[in-house]
Structure 1
């Protein structure tokens, strides 16, 4: 168990954290990607809802 924590601490010291500008750019990329995915899902939902509404009118 002690060996595990020694390895854990050794690995933790090797972590390279991004600087402020990298963090801002990567965070912005994630937010933009999430918004794009949300817009795509919203669009697909609207199209399927409209298609189902048309099918209900026919049947």
Structure 2
């Protein structure tokens, strides 16, 4: 290999201090933290009572339907496996 084709490598340059680490943030005092939390909670668009009831009913019905489907599949697969192995139930 010719000299001009050889790749020259150099040692990596040292990074200046603090370049690799993020700047530390000032710690928030508990009282200031609570003020900020309350201010953010005031901005929240809370659902109405009717919306909460409607969403709760949707969740309840969905859970019951999924539970019934899982129960039915478990029952059918249990019967199928027992029949496959010739075990009476």
Range of TM-score over shorter length: 0.7 to 0.9
> For each residue in 1:7-29, what CA deviation from the matched residue of structure 2 results, as whole angstroms up to 9, or x when unmatched?
32221111222112111111110
RMSD between superposed Cα atoms in Å: 1.7
Structure with higher RCO (Cα < 8 A, 6+ apart): 2
Q: SS where residue 64 of structure 2 aligns?
A: helix
In structure 1, runs of 5+ residues without a counterpart are none
Q: SS where residue 15 of structure 1 aligns?
A: coil
TM-score of the superposed pair, with normalisation by structure 1? 0.79
Q: Which has the larger radius of gyration?
A: 2
Bigger mean CA offset, 8-17 vs 42-51: 8-17
More helix by share: 1
Hey, what's the Cα distance between the residues in 2 that align with 1:53 and 1:30? 34
In structure 2, runs of 5+ residues without a counterpart are 1-27
